[in-house]
Amino acid sequence: MPHTKRRRLVTIAVAVSLGATALAACGSSDDDSKTESGPVSLTYWTWTPGMDKVVDLWNKGPGKKDQITVTVKKQASGDTLVTKILTAHKAKKAPDLVQAEYQALPTLVSNDALADISKEVGDAKSKFADGVWQQTTLGTDAVYAVPQDIGPMMFYYREDLFKKYGLKVPTTWEQFAETARALKKKAPDTDLTTFSAADSGQFAGLAQQAGAQWWTTSGDKWKVAINDAATQKVAKFWGGLVKEGVIDNQPMYTPAWNKALDTGKQIAWVSAVWAPGTLSTAAPDTKGKWAMAPLPQWSLDQDVTGSWGGSSTAVTTDSQHQAAAAKFAAWLNTDGSALSALAKEGGIYPASTSAQLSGAFTNPPAYFSNQPDFYTKVADIAKTTAPSAWGPNVNVAYTSFKDAFGAAAKNKSDFVAALNTMQDDTVADMKKQGFGVSQ
Protein backbone atom coordinates (compact mmCIF):
# COMPACT_ATOMS: atom_id res chain seq x y z
CA MET A 1 0.00 0.00 0.00
CA PRO A 2 1.74 3.17 -1.15
CA HIS A 3 -0.19 5.57 1.03
CA THR A 4 1.14 6.30 4.52
CA LYS A 5 -2.35 7.30 5.61
CA ARG A 6 -3.74 3.90 4.68
CA ARG A 7 -1.01 2.00 6.49
CA ARG A 8 -1.46 4.21 9.54
CA LEU A 9 -5.23 3.82 9.74
CA VAL A 10 -5.08 0.10 9.07
CA THR A 11 -2.73 -0.14 12.05
CA ILE A 12 -5.29 1.71 14.12
CA ALA A 13 -8.01 -0.62 12.88
CA VAL A 14 -6.00 -3.66 13.90
CA ALA A 15 -5.23 -2.15 17.28
CA VAL A 16 -8.90 -1.41 17.90
CA SER A 17 -10.13 -4.82 16.82
CA LEU A 18 -7.43 -6.85 18.54
CA GLY A 19 -6.87 -4.61 21.56
CA ALA A 20 -3.21 -4.63 20.54
CA THR A 21 -0.48 -2.07 21.02
CA ALA A 22 0.59 -2.08 17.40
CA LEU A 23 0.69 1.69 17.35
CA ALA A 24 3.70 1.88 19.63
CA ALA A 25 6.06 1.64 16.70
CA CYS A 26 4.29 4.51 14.96
CA GLY A 27 4.61 7.00 17.79
CA SER A 28 7.56 8.39 19.67
CA SER A 29 10.71 6.31 19.85
CA ASP A 30 12.48 5.31 23.04
CA ASP A 31 14.85 8.20 22.54
CA ASP A 32 11.96 10.63 22.37
CA SER A 33 10.78 9.80 25.88
CA LYS A 34 14.15 10.35 27.53
CA THR A 35 14.53 13.25 29.90
CA GLU A 36 15.41 16.44 28.08
CA SER A 37 18.67 18.11 29.11
CA GLY A 38 19.59 21.72 28.49
CA PRO A 39 17.37 24.53 27.16
CA VAL A 40 14.53 23.46 24.87
CA SER A 41 12.50 25.79 22.66
CA LEU A 42 9.06 24.66 21.48
CA THR A 43 6.58 26.18 19.02
CA TYR A 44 2.83 25.86 19.57
CA TRP A 45 0.21 26.48 16.87
CA THR A 46 -3.13 27.46 18.42
CA TRP A 47 -6.20 29.62 17.77
CA THR A 48 -7.33 30.04 21.40
CA PRO A 49 -7.57 33.74 22.35
CA GLY A 50 -5.12 34.86 25.01
CA MET A 51 -3.02 31.69 24.79
CA ASP A 52 0.17 33.75 24.90
CA LYS A 53 -0.78 34.96 28.40
CA VAL A 54 -1.41 31.38 29.54
CA VAL A 55 1.92 30.20 28.10
CA ASP A 56 3.67 33.04 29.96
CA LEU A 57 2.72 31.26 33.19
CA TRP A 58 4.59 28.19 31.97
CA ASN A 59 7.61 30.10 30.73
CA LYS A 60 7.99 31.94 34.02
CA GLY A 61 7.19 28.93 36.20
CA PRO A 62 7.50 25.19 35.44
CA GLY A 63 8.98 25.87 32.02
CA LYS A 64 11.71 28.07 33.42
CA LYS A 65 12.55 25.45 36.03
CA ASP A 66 12.74 22.72 33.36
CA GLN A 67 14.46 25.00 30.82
CA ILE A 68 11.55 24.51 28.39
CA THR A 69 10.33 27.63 26.60
CA VAL A 70 7.15 27.66 24.52
CA THR A 71 6.38 30.21 21.81
CA VAL A 72 2.79 30.68 20.62
CA LYS A 73 2.08 31.08 16.93
CA LYS A 74 -1.55 32.18 16.38
CA GLN A 75 -3.38 30.25 13.66
CA ALA A 76 -6.78 29.92 12.04
CA SER A 77 -8.94 27.05 13.25
CA GLY A 78 -10.82 24.19 11.59
CA ASP A 79 -9.85 22.65 8.27
CA THR A 80 -7.54 25.58 7.50
CA LEU A 81 -5.22 24.64 10.35
CA VAL A 82 -5.39 20.91 9.59
CA THR A 83 -4.31 21.59 6.02
CA LYS A 84 -1.48 23.82 7.20
CA ILE A 85 -0.26 21.19 9.67
CA LEU A 86 -0.26 18.47 6.99
CA THR A 87 1.52 20.72 4.52
CA ALA A 88 4.21 21.53 7.08
CA HIS A 89 4.52 17.87 8.04
CA LYS A 90 5.19 16.83 4.43
CA ALA A 91 8.19 19.12 4.57
CA LYS A 92 9.09 17.74 8.04
CA LYS A 93 8.64 21.24 9.43
CA ALA A 94 5.50 20.96 11.57
CA PRO A 95 5.65 22.76 14.94
CA ASP A 96 6.25 20.88 18.18
CA LEU A 97 2.68 21.31 19.41
CA VAL A 98 -0.66 21.88 17.72
CA GLN A 99 -4.19 22.55 18.87
CA ALA A 100 -6.48 20.04 17.15
CA GLU A 101 -10.22 19.55 17.24
CA TYR A 102 -11.17 16.03 18.26
CA GLN A 103 -12.69 15.19 14.87
CA ALA A 104 -9.41 16.17 13.19
CA LEU A 105 -7.27 13.72 15.15
CA PRO A 106 -7.88 10.65 12.91
CA THR A 107 -6.88 12.66 9.84
CA LEU A 108 -3.66 13.86 11.48
CA VAL A 109 -2.84 10.42 12.84
CA SER A 110 -3.50 8.75 9.50
CA ASN A 111 -0.90 11.05 7.97
CA ASP A 112 1.60 10.13 10.71
CA ALA A 113 1.65 13.75 11.88
CA LEU A 114 0.98 13.12 15.60
CA ALA A 115 3.20 11.30 18.08
CA ASP A 116 2.06 8.73 20.61
CA ILE A 117 2.67 10.45 23.98
CA SER A 118 1.13 7.75 26.17
CA LYS A 119 4.41 7.22 28.08
CA GLU A 120 4.53 10.89 29.03
CA VAL A 121 0.85 11.74 29.69
CA GLY A 122 -0.85 8.41 30.34
CA ASP A 123 -1.41 9.16 34.02
CA ALA A 124 -3.50 12.22 33.08
CA LYS A 125 -6.38 9.93 32.07
CA SER A 126 -8.00 10.11 35.53
CA LYS A 127 -8.52 13.86 35.14
CA PHE A 128 -10.94 13.47 32.24
CA ALA A 129 -14.27 11.79 31.60
CA ASP A 130 -13.86 8.46 29.81
CA GLY A 131 -15.74 9.65 26.72
CA VAL A 132 -13.45 12.67 26.41
CA TRP A 133 -10.20 10.75 26.92
CA GLN A 134 -11.31 8.16 24.36
CA GLN A 135 -11.36 10.82 21.67
CA THR A 136 -7.59 11.31 22.03
CA THR A 137 -6.74 7.60 21.97
CA LEU A 138 -8.86 6.62 18.94
CA GLY A 139 -9.79 3.50 20.87
CA THR A 140 -6.19 2.24 21.14
CA ASP A 141 -3.52 2.08 23.82
CA ALA A 142 -1.83 5.09 22.26
CA VAL A 143 -2.46 8.70 23.31
CA TYR A 144 -2.30 11.27 20.53
CA ALA A 145 -3.26 14.41 22.45
CA VAL A 146 -4.33 15.78 25.82
CA PRO A 147 -7.95 17.00 25.99
CA GLN A 148 -8.23 20.78 26.36
CA ASP A 149 -11.83 21.94 26.09
CA ILE A 150 -15.16 20.26 25.44
CA GLY A 151 -18.56 21.24 24.11
CA PRO A 152 -21.30 19.23 25.85
CA MET A 153 -24.68 20.02 24.31
CA MET A 154 -27.70 21.40 26.12
CA PHE A 155 -31.00 23.18 25.61
CA TYR A 156 -31.27 26.97 25.85
CA TYR A 157 -34.63 28.72 26.03
CA ARG A 158 -36.23 32.11 26.73
CA GLU A 159 -37.51 31.57 30.24
CA ASP A 160 -39.82 34.59 30.10
CA LEU A 161 -41.41 33.63 26.79
CA PHE A 162 -41.89 29.99 27.78
CA LYS A 163 -43.85 31.33 30.73
CA LYS A 164 -45.78 33.79 28.54
CA TYR A 165 -46.84 31.07 26.11
CA GLY A 166 -47.48 28.47 28.82
CA LEU A 167 -44.77 26.11 27.59
CA LYS A 168 -42.92 23.49 29.61
CA VAL A 169 -39.23 22.76 29.13
CA PRO A 170 -39.12 19.52 27.09
CA THR A 171 -37.33 16.57 28.63
CA THR A 172 -37.82 14.28 25.62
CA TRP A 173 -37.59 14.92 21.89
CA GLU A 174 -41.26 13.99 21.55
CA GLN A 175 -42.08 16.76 24.03
CA PHE A 176 -39.77 19.07 22.06
CA ALA A 177 -41.86 18.47 18.92
CA GLU A 178 -45.08 19.01 20.86
CA THR A 179 -43.69 22.26 22.26
CA ALA A 180 -42.83 23.47 18.75
CA ARG A 181 -46.37 22.72 17.58
CA ALA A 182 -47.98 24.34 20.63
CA LEU A 183 -45.94 27.51 20.18
CA LYS A 184 -46.80 27.74 16.47
CA LYS A 185 -50.52 27.58 17.32
CA LYS A 186 -50.25 30.27 20.00
CA ALA A 187 -47.85 32.52 18.07
CA PRO A 188 -47.84 31.70 14.33
CA ASP A 189 -45.02 34.16 13.60
CA THR A 190 -42.75 32.62 16.26
CA ASP A 191 -40.56 29.52 15.99
CA LEU A 192 -39.20 27.36 18.76
CA THR A 193 -35.88 27.10 16.93
CA THR A 194 -34.33 26.48 13.50
CA PHE A 195 -32.66 23.58 11.74
CA SER A 196 -29.41 24.92 10.34
CA ALA A 197 -27.96 22.91 7.46
CA ALA A 198 -24.83 25.04 7.71
CA ASP A 199 -23.85 23.50 11.05
CA SER A 200 -22.73 19.92 10.58
CA GLY A 201 -21.20 19.86 14.06
CA GLN A 202 -24.58 20.34 15.67
CA PHE A 203 -26.12 17.51 13.68
CA ALA A 204 -23.15 15.24 14.45
CA GLY A 205 -23.60 15.94 18.17
CA LEU A 206 -27.31 15.13 18.01
CA ALA A 207 -26.55 11.88 16.19
CA GLN A 208 -23.90 11.10 18.80
CA GLN A 209 -26.50 11.56 21.56
CA ALA A 210 -28.81 9.15 19.74
CA GLY A 211 -26.09 6.48 19.75
CA ALA A 212 -24.56 6.95 16.30
CA GLN A 213 -21.08 5.60 15.56
CA TRP A 214 -20.25 7.07 12.17
CA TRP A 215 -16.76 5.60 11.80
CA THR A 216 -15.69 2.30 13.34
CA THR A 217 -13.27 -0.45 12.38
CA SER A 218 -13.91 -3.99 11.23
CA GLY A 219 -10.79 -6.10 11.02
CA ASP A 220 -8.30 -4.09 8.99
CA LYS A 221 -10.96 -1.93 7.34
CA TRP A 222 -13.07 1.08 8.17
CA LYS A 223 -16.83 0.77 8.50
CA VAL A 224 -18.77 3.94 7.69
CA ALA A 225 -22.28 4.11 9.14
CA ILE A 226 -23.30 7.74 8.80
CA ASN A 227 -26.78 6.62 7.74
CA ASP A 228 -27.18 4.16 10.63
CA ALA A 229 -30.50 3.72 12.45
CA ALA A 230 -29.64 6.26 15.16
CA THR A 231 -28.78 9.00 12.68
CA GLN A 232 -31.79 8.19 10.51
CA LYS A 233 -33.95 8.71 13.57
CA VAL A 234 -32.42 12.15 14.10
CA ALA A 235 -32.75 13.06 10.43
CA LYS A 236 -36.39 11.97 10.26
CA PHE A 237 -37.19 13.91 13.43
CA TRP A 238 -35.75 17.23 12.28
CA GLY A 239 -36.83 16.76 8.68
CA GLY A 240 -40.37 16.13 9.88
CA LEU A 241 -40.44 19.34 11.92
CA VAL A 242 -39.11 21.35 8.99
CA LYS A 243 -41.61 19.84 6.55
CA GLU A 244 -44.43 20.43 9.04
CA GLY A 245 -43.39 24.07 9.27
CA VAL A 246 -43.29 24.20 13.06
CA ILE A 247 -39.61 25.23 13.17
CA ASP A 248 -37.58 27.47 10.90
CA ASN A 249 -35.25 26.08 8.22
CA GLN A 250 -32.76 28.97 8.00
CA PRO A 251 -29.04 28.84 8.89
CA MET A 252 -27.67 30.13 12.18
CA TYR A 253 -25.10 32.90 12.72
CA THR A 254 -26.71 35.26 10.21
CA PRO A 255 -28.08 38.76 10.83
CA ALA A 256 -31.59 37.35 10.40
CA TRP A 257 -30.96 34.64 12.97
CA ASN A 258 -29.47 37.12 15.42
CA LYS A 259 -32.51 39.35 15.05
CA ALA A 260 -34.89 36.42 15.56
CA LEU A 261 -33.20 35.56 18.85
CA ASP A 262 -33.01 39.16 20.00
CA THR A 263 -36.65 39.97 19.25
CA GLY A 264 -38.18 36.72 20.50
CA LYS A 265 -39.10 35.35 17.07
CA GLN A 266 -37.06 32.26 17.99
CA ILE A 267 -37.22 31.32 21.63
CA ALA A 268 -34.92 28.29 21.99
CA TRP A 269 -31.60 26.98 20.76
CA VAL A 270 -30.05 23.51 20.87
CA SER A 271 -26.42 24.40 21.47
CA ALA A 272 -23.39 23.69 23.65
CA VAL A 273 -21.63 25.06 26.70
CA TRP A 274 -20.14 27.94 24.72
CA ALA A 275 -23.58 29.34 23.81
CA PRO A 276 -23.55 32.24 26.33
CA GLY A 277 -20.75 33.95 24.42
CA THR A 278 -22.64 33.63 21.15
CA LEU A 279 -25.93 34.80 22.65
CA SER A 280 -24.32 37.84 24.23
CA THR A 281 -23.33 38.99 20.75
CA ALA A 282 -26.34 37.73 18.78
CA ALA A 283 -29.06 38.75 21.22
CA PRO A 284 -27.66 41.40 23.58
CA ASP A 285 -31.09 42.80 24.47
CA THR A 286 -32.22 39.51 26.00
CA LYS A 287 -29.48 39.18 28.61
CA GLY A 288 -30.81 37.56 31.79
CA LYS A 289 -33.91 36.21 30.04
CA TRP A 290 -32.48 32.85 28.94
CA ALA A 291 -32.09 29.64 30.90
CA MET A 292 -30.29 26.37 30.26
CA ALA A 293 -31.51 22.79 30.72
CA PRO A 294 -30.25 19.33 29.74
CA LEU A 295 -30.77 18.22 26.16
CA PRO A 296 -34.10 16.43 25.57
CA GLN A 297 -33.76 12.65 25.57
CA TRP A 298 -35.03 9.99 23.19
CA SER A 299 -36.56 8.13 26.13
CA LEU A 300 -37.25 9.07 29.74
CA ASP A 301 -34.84 6.47 31.12
CA GLN A 302 -31.88 7.99 29.24
CA ASP A 303 -29.43 10.62 30.45
CA VAL A 304 -26.94 11.34 27.70
CA THR A 305 -25.76 14.30 25.67
CA GLY A 306 -23.76 14.87 22.52
CA SER A 307 -20.76 17.07 21.93
CA TRP A 308 -20.45 20.10 19.65
CA GLY A 309 -16.92 21.43 19.55
CA GLY A 310 -13.87 20.92 21.68
CA SER A 311 -10.16 20.54 21.06
CA SER A 312 -6.94 19.02 22.32
CA THR A 313 -3.20 19.67 22.50
CA ALA A 314 -1.08 17.29 20.43
CA VAL A 315 2.64 16.72 19.86
CA THR A 316 3.83 16.26 16.29
CA THR A 317 6.10 13.53 14.99
CA ASP A 318 8.34 16.26 13.58
CA SER A 319 9.17 17.60 17.03
CA GLN A 320 12.74 16.93 18.14
CA HIS A 321 11.63 17.34 21.76
CA GLN A 322 8.52 15.20 22.09
CA ALA A 323 8.95 14.45 25.79
CA ALA A 324 9.29 18.15 26.65
CA ALA A 325 6.33 19.02 24.42
CA ALA A 326 4.19 16.35 26.06
CA LYS A 327 5.13 17.70 29.48
CA PHE A 328 3.87 21.14 28.49
CA ALA A 329 0.67 19.69 26.95
CA ALA A 330 -0.11 17.87 30.18
CA TRP A 331 0.55 20.99 32.28
CA LEU A 332 -1.56 23.20 30.03
CA ASN A 333 -4.63 21.00 30.37
CA THR A 334 -4.38 19.67 33.93
CA ASP A 335 -2.69 22.37 36.03
CA GLY A 336 -5.12 24.49 38.04
CA SER A 337 -3.48 27.84 37.34
CA ALA A 338 -3.22 27.08 33.62
CA LEU A 339 -6.86 26.04 33.37
CA SER A 340 -8.05 29.11 35.29
CA ALA A 341 -6.08 31.28 32.89
CA LEU A 342 -7.47 29.40 29.87
CA ALA A 343 -10.99 30.02 31.15
CA LYS A 344 -10.30 33.70 31.81
CA GLU A 345 -8.24 34.55 28.74
CA GLY A 346 -9.60 32.07 26.19
CA GLY A 347 -13.18 31.64 27.36
CA ILE A 348 -12.93 27.86 27.15
CA TYR A 349 -14.82 25.24 29.13
CA PRO A 350 -12.11 22.82 30.28
CA ALA A 351 -12.11 19.11 29.61
CA SER A 352 -10.54 18.50 33.03
CA THR A 353 -13.32 17.43 35.39
CA SER A 354 -11.73 19.05 38.44
CA ALA A 355 -11.39 22.38 36.64
CA GLN A 356 -15.08 22.38 35.76
CA LEU A 357 -15.90 23.12 39.38
CA SER A 358 -12.97 25.43 40.06
CA GLY A 359 -13.08 29.07 41.05
CA ALA A 360 -13.28 30.20 37.44
CA PHE A 361 -16.69 28.54 37.21
CA THR A 362 -18.12 29.44 40.61
CA ASN A 363 -20.28 32.18 39.13
CA PRO A 364 -22.46 31.85 36.02
CA PRO A 365 -21.69 33.68 32.77
CA ALA A 366 -22.77 37.31 33.02
CA TYR A 367 -25.40 36.69 30.34
CA PHE A 368 -26.93 33.98 32.57
CA SER A 369 -26.78 35.86 35.88
CA ASN A 370 -30.37 34.71 36.47
CA GLN A 371 -29.17 31.07 36.68
CA PRO A 372 -26.62 30.87 39.54
CA ASP A 373 -26.18 27.09 39.17
CA PHE A 374 -25.34 27.33 35.45
CA TYR A 375 -21.88 25.75 35.67
CA THR A 376 -22.93 23.20 38.29
CA LYS A 377 -25.52 21.94 35.82
CA VAL A 378 -22.99 22.02 32.98
CA ALA A 379 -20.56 19.85 34.96
CA ASP A 380 -23.29 17.26 35.57
CA ILE A 381 -24.33 17.30 31.92
CA ALA A 382 -20.72 16.99 30.72
CA LYS A 383 -20.37 13.69 32.59
CA THR A 384 -23.09 12.20 30.40
CA THR A 385 -21.37 12.92 27.07
CA ALA A 386 -21.63 9.95 24.72
CA PRO A 387 -18.42 8.61 23.15
CA SER A 388 -17.70 9.74 19.64
CA ALA A 389 -16.40 7.84 16.63
CA TRP A 390 -14.52 10.05 14.18
CA GLY A 391 -12.88 8.96 10.95
CA PRO A 392 -10.16 10.12 8.57
CA ASN A 393 -12.32 12.35 6.34
CA VAL A 394 -14.71 14.24 8.60
CA ASN A 395 -14.23 17.32 6.42
CA VAL A 396 -15.67 15.51 3.41
CA ALA A 397 -18.66 14.26 5.40
CA TYR A 398 -19.32 17.75 6.76
CA THR A 399 -19.13 19.34 3.31
CA SER A 400 -21.57 16.76 1.97
CA PHE A 401 -23.90 17.47 4.90
CA LYS A 402 -24.00 21.17 4.11
CA ASP A 403 -24.76 20.53 0.44
CA ALA A 404 -27.29 17.71 0.78
CA PHE A 405 -29.06 18.91 3.92
CA GLY A 406 -28.91 22.50 2.69
CA ALA A 407 -31.01 21.54 -0.31
CA ALA A 408 -33.32 19.33 1.76
CA ALA A 409 -33.94 22.03 4.37
CA LYS A 410 -34.61 24.67 1.72
CA ASN A 411 -36.99 22.42 -0.24
CA LYS A 412 -38.44 20.71 2.86
CA SER A 413 -37.62 17.39 1.21
CA ASP A 414 -36.50 14.01 2.58
CA PHE A 415 -33.70 14.34 5.16
CA VAL A 416 -32.96 10.60 5.05
CA ALA A 417 -32.20 10.85 1.33
CA ALA A 418 -29.78 13.67 2.17
CA LEU A 419 -28.22 11.43 4.83
CA ASN A 420 -27.72 8.65 2.28
CA THR A 421 -25.95 11.12 0.01
CA MET A 422 -23.66 12.05 2.89
CA GLN A 423 -22.90 8.37 3.46
CA ASP A 424 -22.16 7.70 -0.21
CA ASP A 425 -19.94 10.77 -0.59
CA THR A 426 -17.91 9.85 2.49
CA VAL A 427 -17.37 6.23 1.45
CA ALA A 428 -16.45 7.21 -2.10
CA ASP A 429 -13.83 9.66 -0.83
CA MET A 430 -12.29 7.10 1.53
CA LYS A 431 -11.97 4.56 -1.27
CA LYS A 432 -10.48 7.19 -3.52
CA GLN A 433 -7.85 7.93 -0.87
CA GLY A 434 -6.94 4.26 -0.62
CA PHE A 435 -8.62 3.33 2.67
CA GLY A 436 -10.10 -0.13 3.04
CA VAL A 437 -13.85 0.19 3.59
CA SER A 438 -16.13 -2.70 4.53
CA GLN A 439 -19.72 -2.68 3.30
Dihedral angle at the C-alpha atoms of 212, 424, 438, 4, nearest 10 degrees?
Answer: -100
Give the pLDDT band (50/70/90) at residue 9.
low
Give the pLDDT band (50/70/90) at residue 149.
very high
Least confident stretch, 12-21, 304-313, 414-423: 12-21
Strands 307-315 and 146-158: antiparallel
Cα–Cα distance measured from residue 188 to residue 191, given in angstroms and rounded to the nearest whole number: 8
* Residue 17: per-residue pLDDT: 33
Report the SS3 class of residue 160. helix
* Residue 58: per-residue pLDDT: 98
Residue type, 275: A
Q: Please say whether the dihedral angle defined by the alpha carbons of residues 243, 244, 245 and 247, taken in this order, is positive or negative.
A: negative
Report the SS3 class of residue 348. coil
Q: Would the pTM count as exceeding 0.95?
A: no
* Residue 7: per-residue pLDDT: 43
Which position has the higher pLDDT, 237 or 28? Answer: 237
Q: Looking at residues 73-98, what average pLDDT do you find?
A: 95
Q: Which positions ≥6 away from 247 have C-beta within 8 Å?
A: 180, 191, 192, 193, 194, 195, 238, 241
Phi, psi of 231 (to 5 degrees): -70, -35
Cβ-based burial of 2 (10 A; exposed 0-12, middle 13-18, buried ≥19): exposed
- CB count within 10 Å of CB 301 equals 6
Q: Using one digit for the tens of pLDDT, what is the confidence trace for 415-439?
A: 999 999 999 999 999 999 999 998 6
Q: Please say whether the dihedral angle defined by the alpha carbons of residues 185, 190, 191 and 192, taken in this order, is positive or negative.
A: negative
* Residue 387: per-residue pLDDT: 87
Q: Using one digit for the tens of pLDDT, what is the confidence trace for 257-274?
A: 999 999 999 999 999 999
Q: Looking at residues 358-383, what average pLDDT do you find?
A: 93
* Residue 37: per-residue pLDDT: 63
∠ at Cα 349 (263, 362), nearest 5°? 85
The rounded percent of the chain whose pLDDT value lies above 90 is: 84
